Amino acid sequence: MFIKYIFLLIFIIFSTCLSAQIRPAMDMPFDEESIEPDSVKRPEKNVVSRVVAWNLMDQGAFIDSLSLDTLNRFFHNYHPAYKNSITNTYTGNLGGAYLNNDFNSRQFGTDFYFANSFDAYILTPERLDFYNTTTPYTMLDYSQSENKNRQNETRFNVLHSQNINRNINVTFRYDQAKSDGQYNYQESRFHSISLYSSYNSDKLNIYGGFIFNRIRNQENGGIVDDNQLLEETEQEYMIMNLADARTEMKGNYFFASGEYRLGTTSEIDGVDTFKPIASIIYYAKSSNYLRLFREGEEGPNSEFFPVYFIHPEFTHDSVRMNVVNNQAQILFHESAQKKFSFGQRVFAGVDVVYRMFAAPGYKESVFPFHPGNYSNHLYTGPDRRWNKHTYTNIYVGGGIFRHLGDFWTWDVEGRQYLSGYRLGQTEIRGNLQKPLVFMKDSSAYFQIMGNLMNRKPDYFQEEYFSNRASWKNNFVNEQQMNAGISFHSPERNLEAGARYSLINNYIFHNSVGVPAQANDGLLILSAYLDKEFDLGAFSLKSQILWQKASAPQYVHLPDFSIRLVPTFDFVLAKVLFTQLGVDVRMNTEYYADAYQPATGFFYLQNEKKLGSYPYMDAFANLKLKRTRIFFQYMNLGSGFLDKPYFTALHYPMNQMTFRLGVAWSFYN
């Protein structure tokens, strides 16, 4: 029923598209006398399709121009968790939990601690792309596994954007995916729905909209006996640790941003041009998160979950978090005409955070500090209790920046919390770029980045209670110093760099899956290379990452992570752009983290080393005009390599399977 409503909404929007688009050439006041009889047909005006896209940064202070993704090269790489990573610690099924094996890339887009392992599947306001179009723009993206009835995986994404007039744009986006999983009790579903709009003029910019996210997963706890993977046992006969456990996560957002610009208008080449001098910006966002975990309703799981705090066989946990962000800022724009000009901004904000967790019975949400009384699996008392807290954090900050010019570009920014739970938290970051010419590439640049943070522990790192996990900590602030240096040459398809991270009081999940704090300092060094080598029609995309941690008792990382993609590109019949290749990912052996389905966190394990297995995906990417297609055989090695393919403890990756995907773009 829910899907029917979604497609009804899409139909209404598409129906509106047919009549609501006001093209720039027709954007004029309504004149009743200009209406001609129906018998007189006016010639249609051809409007060149043009789509401009951008992303908002720093609560609306800056924009980052984007190019539409219409290339066929590497189109096969559709998995959200693998788009920006080399390798992951991963539970194996689309929609499942993952952890980026690159320590410095473990940046999360939400405030909800329990969503970290599912971050790539969650659409947030900061990840939205805004558009301005001369004609309606629509993108349809679909992919399907080889079997429609068993072990099925499907994705269907819709994006529609159009201008109502030259200033106002409305965009609808719907992303959904469903996977039955190759192994028992592994089904997953996730989707996001968003409707948002923008108004852009010389003096006023307004953005606003809503996003609904939902993730539902069966949790099978991994395979009971890893040897089953190499015994040619059919997946349906493999025994999993859990047969009756599931999680559900929701993340909903309402957001709005407004910018009023002060400036002057002058005539340049006969055209009146507005030059902004200062901006007043207000940003507001409401975020609502929920995670549910249920198990044991149809069968006991006490062997997998030997620890309990409420009931030995049944779990019905929930954890919630609501956040309201408000920020006001004043921005002074830099001048491109002045060599030593730089911009400034100051801001102040208030975050109101409401967090709650419970370990309820099956009918009512309760928070018992004791086992409690049950009747037919229903908690009956003595009292229904929640653990609730509301925090109000006030902060101020500011920064200076130089984003224009071709000599140096840079920005420095700091933030200080004045009251609330995060009182005393300090954040300072800086970025410096030097443009240069490298082997005739005038777009090359050299970059230095760094930040200092004295950060309070997360609300849920300090305290949490549920049936299968419980902790109450008194952690001190985590102190981080990060620095990095990199070189970029876009025309040469080259990026290389090195990074340094020094962390005191590092917080991690220990071998029993609960947060703990390091007693020693943690130093992590890394270096990486991302280079595409071209030799006529042949090319090789190579990504190499090296990492070393000074205290492996607190964090486990592979020494090397490697991705190699040899390809052959050619054109058939002068119109069909084709890319054939093999996508290979691998990391060296190490004690990859285990996964705890009751909390959704990865944690340290010393039971078994995993790695040194090449995941090979053979693919063909095709493009004909505005249509892109990929064909892909995934994990070819499972058909002939006598090695287990795990990236997380006891969680096997999918065996060899076929995928087909297609995307269509419409500009009118």
Model confidence at 305: pLDDT above 90: yes
pLDDT tens per residue across span 83-94: 989 999 999 999
Confidence tier at 374 by pLDDT (50, 70, 90): low
3-state secondary structure (DSSP) of residue 336:
coil
What is residue 404's predicted lDDT score, i.e. its pLDDT? 85
- Of 284, 288, 373, which is closest to residue 323 (Cα–Cα)? 288
Model confidence at 481: pLDDT above 50: yes
pLDDT tens per residue across span 50-78: 999 999 999 999 999 888 878 888 999 99
- Of 463, 464, 503, which is closest to residue 481 (Cα–Cα)? 503
CATH class of 2-23+46-666: mainly beta
Model confidence at 422: pLDDT above 60: yes
> Cβ neighbours of residue 2 under 8 Å, at least 6 residues apart?
none
Rounded distance, CA 126 to CA 2, Å? 26
Distance of CA 344 to the CA centre of its chain: 29
Distance of CA 645 to the CA centre of its chain: 25
> Cβ neighbours of residue 443 under 8 Å, at least 6 residues apart?
435, 489, 490, 491
Q: How long a stretch of residues is the chain?
A: 668
Residue 445 or residue 45, greater confidence? 445
What is residue 434's predicted lDDT score, i.e. its pLDDT? 92
Average the pLDDT over each of 5-9, 106-110, 444-448, 538-542 and give the range with the smallest value: 5-9
3-state secondary structure (DSSP) of residue 626:
coil
Model confidence at 201: pLDDT above 60: yes
Residue matched to tokens 């908002």: 56
Q: Which amino acid is at 413?
A: E
Q: What is the mean pLDDT of residues 347-368?
A: 71
What is the CB-side half-sphere exposure of residue 401 using CA atoms within 13 A? Answer: 20
Q: Which amino acid is at 465?
A: F
> Cβ neighbours of residue 629 under 8 Å, at least 6 residues apart?
621, 622, 623, 660, 661, 662, 663
Sketch the domain layout of the chain as residue ranges.
2-23+46-666
